């Protein structure tokens, strides 16, 4: 163990990593940002592609939710907010989804407020770092209407008990009568495209690359952060409306896929992409 820690320390020194950099990958966007393509990359170069003329709107679109960060004890989760991992995660994931499935995918992505009238045009939305999310009465009402009318929301990248309590608290504004339940591994979502046998953990890219020496893949927040949870909210007919990946950072698996071979092979390729692609494909076909 001592030898592994020495190697890990040398690895940090050689690469120039500091822990603050592991989370320093957010985009501080504004209300004018419409697509991920408008934002400059902060990882490796993202792919470009196009769809056949006339089919530009007949595509799946990675739609990211812009939200307001709350204040107070319920919102004390450290993090960067709604723009974390953007644009690289959105664009890399969109490209891989088109590459590995029969879906045609929008090459630009979309950024939306929950109160945006265009929300109804996007059946799948993604919200990152929800441990700091605050929903106004108008946003909660709009999200409820969207989900009950066939929409789907994926939460990602939040760790620990306080962050989870905040998600439960805010979603009670949306569905006072409904709660989350753990999705069992025999659910068909886990075989929609790739066979998934366990709920794997994706750390931030720095911790992930270091894990080959330390064995640590979790982030150090309050409570149990080593156990990955996939919790869902369904409608009265059993249709999944919300999927929450707690104690995992799939977005970093998409964003940082091209930087480190170990991280790519063990987290991007084996966990983050299979889960994300299965979620989207299952939702779009059910």
- Asked if 4 and 210 count as a contact pair (C-beta separation under 8 A), the reply is no
Query: What token pair was written down for 243?
Result: 């999927």
- Asked if 59 and 106 count as a contact pair (C-beta separation under 8 A), the reply is yes
For residue 149, what pLDDT is reported? Answer: 97
For residue 71, what pLDDT is reported? Answer: 65
- Asked if 215 and 237 count as a contact pair (C-beta separation under 8 A), the reply is no
CA angle 69, 70, 71 (to 5 degrees): 130
Does residue 228 form part of some domain? Answer: yes
Does residue 125 form part of some domain? Answer: yes
Task: Collect the ranges in the chain with pLDDT lower than 50.
Answer: 1-24, 73, 75, 77-78
Does residue 17 form part of some domain? Answer: no
- Asked if 166 and 130 count as a contact pair (C-beta separation under 8 A), the reply is yes
For residue 80, what pLDDT is reported? Answer: 60
For residue 142, what pLDDT is reported? Answer: 98
Does residue 24 form part of some domain? Answer: no
Does residue 23 form part of some domain? Answer: no
Query: What token pair was written down for 35?
Result: 């697509």
Look up the CATH number of the domain holding residue 92. Answer: 3.40.50.12140
Does residue 15 form part of some domain? Answer: no
Does residue 85 form part of some domain? Answer: yes
User: Cis omega before residue 239 (within 30°)?
Assistant: no
For residue 42, what pLDDT is reported? Answer: 79
Nearest to 88 by CA among 274, 260, 252, 203: 252
Nearest to 107 by CA among 154, 148, 56, 149: 56
Backbone φ and ψ for 117, nearest 5 degrees, come out as -60, -25
| Structural domain count of the chain | 1
Does residue 20 form part of some domain? Answer: no
Q: End-to-end distance of the chain based on CA atoms, in angstroms?
A: 48
Question: 51 to each of 25, 188, 276, how far by Cα in Å?
Answer: 29, 30, 22
* CA 128 and chain centroid, separation: 5
Indicate the SS3 state at residue 106: coil
pLDDT digits (tens, 9 = 90+) for 145-181: 999 999 999 999 999 999 999 999 999 999 999 999 9
Indicate the SS3 state at residue 229: strand
Range of the domain at 271: 2-10+33-285
pLDDT digits (tens, 9 = 90+) for 171-217: 999 999 999 999 999 999 999 999 999 999 999 999 999 999 999 99
């Amino acid at each position: 163990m001592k030898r592994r820690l020495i190697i890990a320390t040398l690895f940090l020194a050689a690469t120039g990593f500091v822990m603050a950099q592991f989370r320093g990958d957010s985009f501080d966007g504004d209300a004018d940002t419409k697509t991920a393509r408008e934002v400059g990359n902060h990882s490796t170069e993202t792919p470009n592609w196009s769809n056949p003329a006339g089919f530009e709107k007949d595509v799946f679109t990675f739609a990211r939710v812009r939200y307001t960060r709350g204040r107070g004890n319920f919102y004390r989760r450290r993090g960067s907010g709604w723009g974390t991992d953007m644009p690289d995660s959105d664009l890399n994931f969109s490209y891989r989804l088109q590459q590995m499935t029969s879906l045609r995918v929008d090459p630009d992505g979309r950024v939306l407020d929950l109160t945006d009238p265009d929300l109804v045009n996007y059946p799948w939305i993604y919200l990152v770092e929800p441990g700091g999310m605050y929903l106004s009465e108008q946003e909660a009402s709009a999200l409820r209407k969207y989900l009950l009318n066939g929409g789907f929301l994926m939460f990602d990248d939040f760790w620990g008990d306080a962050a989870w309590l905040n998600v439960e608290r805010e979603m009670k504004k949306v569905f006072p009568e409904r709660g989350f339940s753990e999705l069992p591994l025999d659910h068909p979502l886990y075989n929609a495209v790739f066979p998934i046998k366990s709920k794997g953990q994706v750390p931030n890219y720095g911790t992930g690359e270091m894990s080959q020496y330390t064995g640590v893949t979790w982030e150090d927040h309050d409570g149990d952060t080593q156990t990955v949870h996939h919790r869902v909210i369904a409608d009265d007919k059993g249709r999944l409306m919300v999927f929450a990946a707690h104690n995992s950072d799939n977005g970093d698996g998409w964003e940082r896929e091209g930087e480190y071979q170990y991280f790519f092979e063990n987290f991007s390729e084996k966990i983050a992409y299979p889960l994300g692609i299965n979620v989207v494909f299952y939702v779009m076909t059910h």
